[in-house]
């Protein structure tokens, strides 16, 4: 308890979480919104900055990675 993990949930579950130790995972982002979400930064003085980075792309792509995950 008390740990925060950042990354792909399947990778984290497979590599960081003990087997058979999770009873429930609840995810509630806006899945397949066909939007790209960015992290916006503020300047050190608190004013808005134009700096940003892509946080994630919320568009489903069926590819080799999805196929492997589906098969597992």
Question: 66: which DSSP letter?
Answer: H
Q: Rounding to the nearest 10 degrees, give the CA dihedral for residues 23, 57, 59, 22.
A: -10
- Would you say residue 51 has pLDDT above 70? yes
Q: What is the pTM of this model?
A: 0.36
Whole-number Å distance between alpha carbons of 48 and 44: 9
pLDDT of residue 55: 73
- Would you say residue 18 has pLDDT above 80? yes
At 5, phi and psi to the nearest 5? -115, 140
Contact residues for 25 (Cβ-Cβ < 8 A; gap 6+): 9, 13
- Summarize pLDDT for 1-16 with one digit per residue, the tens: 678 888 888 888 889 9
Q: Residue 69: which of 18, 61, 39 has the closest Cα?
A: 61
- Would you say residue 30 has pLDDT above 70? no
pLDDT of residue 29: 66
């Amino acid at each position: 308890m008390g740990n925060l993990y950042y990354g792909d949930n399947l990778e984290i579950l497979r590599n960081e979480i003990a087997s058979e130790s999770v009873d429930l995972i609840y995810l509630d982002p806006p899945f397949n919104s066909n939007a790209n979400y960015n992290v916006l930064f503020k300047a050190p003085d608190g004013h808005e900055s134009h700096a940003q980075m892509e946080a994630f792309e919320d568009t489903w792509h069926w590819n080799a990675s999805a196929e492997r995950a589906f098969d597992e």
